A = this chain, B = another copy of it.
Amino acid sequence: MRHFHDQLQDLLQKIVLMGTAAESMIQIATRAMMERNEALTDAVLAKERTVNAMQIEIDELAVRLTALQQPVGADVRFLFMATRITTELERIGDQACNICQNLHFVLQVPPLRPLVDLPIMAELAQKMVRDSLTAMINRDCAMAEKVMQEEETVDAFRDQIFRTLLTHMMADPGTIQRAISLILISRNLERIGDHANNIAEEVIYWVQGRDVRHPSLRNGEPRDGGHSSATQTM
């Protein structure tokens, strides 16, 4: 089965590449916002094609390996994780594109104010994506859990940015359209944080066999009798 595990390793590498591309989309979109440079948004849209193509390639490979290699245990979990993580990464790319769309109006008009806390929030969201991928590469559940804890900070940024911009709009209705665009960008970033959180949950599922997606339902017991560590099989 050595050959099979090389193929799984290859699949993991592809996910990492796709993740790196999605992460760079967030970074470029953020730069476009901070440097008020709309030309950069073209680079984001170009990268989206790459990310989408990688999703198709990885999912196809996961299905093919499942049909041909008849995997068991942590390898089955890995293949299901793969297709769920590509979904998250593809949507992270979508959100970067949505940020560019929401920037379109913002960059036509004078800046509202030093961008509230959006750049810090963007950096946090990007870090969450990067850390969730690092957790996957290293099968590091502690790191995955740290990513999951950062969702609260993202939500706090979202609420604070909302309140600040609301005050602006109330005081000066001339700022309404710009402020709404910025509120929508903060929602795009919030969703990127959500997706990173989902990736972190998938890593824990793969490595430990615990489904931690809905903590209020159960306390994450192994869900397929799988105590077997992923490192044993891959």
Residues of A within 8 A of B (CB): 49, 52-53, 55-56, 59-60, 62-64, 66-67, 70-73, 76-77, 79-80, 83-84, 87, 166, 169-170, 173, 176-177, 180, 183-184, 187, 211, 213-214, 216-218, 223-224
Asked if residues A211 and B52 are in contact (CB atoms below 8 Å), the reply is: no
Known: A56-B214, A87-B87. 9 other contacts (CB 8 A): A52-B213, A53-B217, A56-B217, A60-B224, A62-B80, A67-B73, A70-B70, A84-B84, A173-B173
Asked if residues B52 and A217 are in contact (CB atoms below 8 Å), the reply is: yes
Contact of A63 among B62, B77, B173, B184 (CB under 8 A): B77
Contacts of A216 in B (CB 8 A): 49, 52
Assembly CA distance A170 to B80 (angstroms): 49
Asked if residues A213 and B55 are in contact (CB atoms below 8 Å), the reply is: yes
Assembly CA distance A177 to B162 (angstroms): 10
Assembly CA distance A82 to B64 (angstroms): 16
Contacts of A177 in B (CB 8 A): 166
Contacts of A83 in B (CB 8 A): 80, 83-84
Asked if residues B55 and A66 are in contact (CB atoms below 8 Å), the reply is: no
Give chain B nearest CB distance to A106 CB in angstroms.
15
Contacts of A213 in B (CB 8 A): 52, 55-56
Asked if residues B67 and A224 are in contact (CB atoms below 8 Å), the reply is: yes
Assembly CA distance A64 to B225 (angstroms): 10
Which 6 A-B residue pairings sit nearest by Cβ, starting from the closest?
A52-B214, A70-B70, A67-B76, A67-B72, A173-B173, A60-B223
Which residue of chain B lies nearest to A225 when distances are taken between CB atoms in the complex? B64
Contacts of A84 in B (CB 8 A): 83-84, 87
Assembly CA distance A77 to B63 (angstroms): 7
